Amino acid sequence: MANIIDGKALAQKLRDRLKSEVDMLKDQGIKPGLAVVLVGDNPASLVYVKAKGKACDEVSINSFQRTLHKEITQKELLWQISELNNDPKVHGILVQLPLPEHLDEELILEAISPEKDVDGFHPMNTGRLVINKPLFQPCTPLGIIKLIENTGVDISGKEAVVVGRSNIVGKPVAFMLLHRNATVTICHSRTQNLREKIGRADILIAAIGKPAAIKGEWIKQGAIVIDVGINRLDGGKLVGDVEFDGAFKKASFITPVPGGVGPMTIAMLLYNTVAAAKRQSKGIRV
């Protein structure tokens, strides 16, 4: 039977530590600030944006929220971003995804100054992660690494299998594991014999977005299982991408859904924002 990885508790510990750091920065006249840009009224995005604002308040980070009309033009949105890029009170900028269809997501993300890109989605930050010279790293993958490191199990030399190849989770977490000397396999919707690949994983990262797509019996005895999926069933229940009860019997460590990866994402966003404020106060440029 597995140990449950308590993401909520670890995130709280990290927030407490960040709060002390923010209090110390205040004595030096530095008040970290995060701008969160929401375009439109996607209900899930509204929930996330609210949670990010609340988390900022808890650790005394200034939060600036810009809620923009869903029909905003690309030009207008780019102008808003450039205003935030030039605002010294704003150390981190986050544009909540997904954006409405008429906006070019790639172009918008590239418009954020890499120095303020606390989501780690700018191509410069992606490139720096790939060559293992990271500046800002994406929050969910960084949270996953912290959860694994917190188990005390050494990542080096382990077989890691990542299921999902998104730019937000699958690809960056694969590179983070590689840089910690894991042997990494990335699986996706066209992968053949998924079960066989999952059966090799000492560390399994499931980031597919399909409820209970990975069966407990596929999992290697003693594996660490990190479930990034948050899927709402018809009855309202939240479940991950891994069939929990079966996986719980085989894994050595497993994240619950909710209360595993989710809380870590926001904690890492706060961490990146504080790091951005410290860099900018010292005048460090990329």
As annotated, the active-site residues are 52, 96, 119
Query: How far apart are CB 285 and ligand GUN at their closest, in Å?
Result: 23
∠ CA 10-51-24, rounded to 5°: 60
- 74: its two tokens: 């690309």
Strand partners, 237: none
Question: CA-CA distances (angstroms) from residue 204 to 17, 19, 113, 284?
Answer: 28, 32, 33, 37
Least separation in angstroms between residue 3's CB and ligand GUN is 27
| Shortest distance in whole angstroms from residue 159 CB to ligand GUN | 27
Question: Which three-class secondary structure state does DSSP give residue 81?
Answer: helix
| Tokens 């969910």 found at | 140
Cβ-contact 115, 122 below 8 angstroms:
no
Q: How far is the CB of 252 from ligand GUN (least distance, A)?
A: 28
Which residues make up the interface to ligand GUN (CB under 6 A)? 94-97, 119, 139-140, 168
Rounded to 5 degrees, what are φ and ψ at 115?
A: -65, -25
Q: What are phi and psi of 153, to 5 degrees?
A: -80, 135
Question: Side chain identity at 46, as an amino acid letter?
Answer: L
| Neighbouring-strand partners of residue 187 | 163
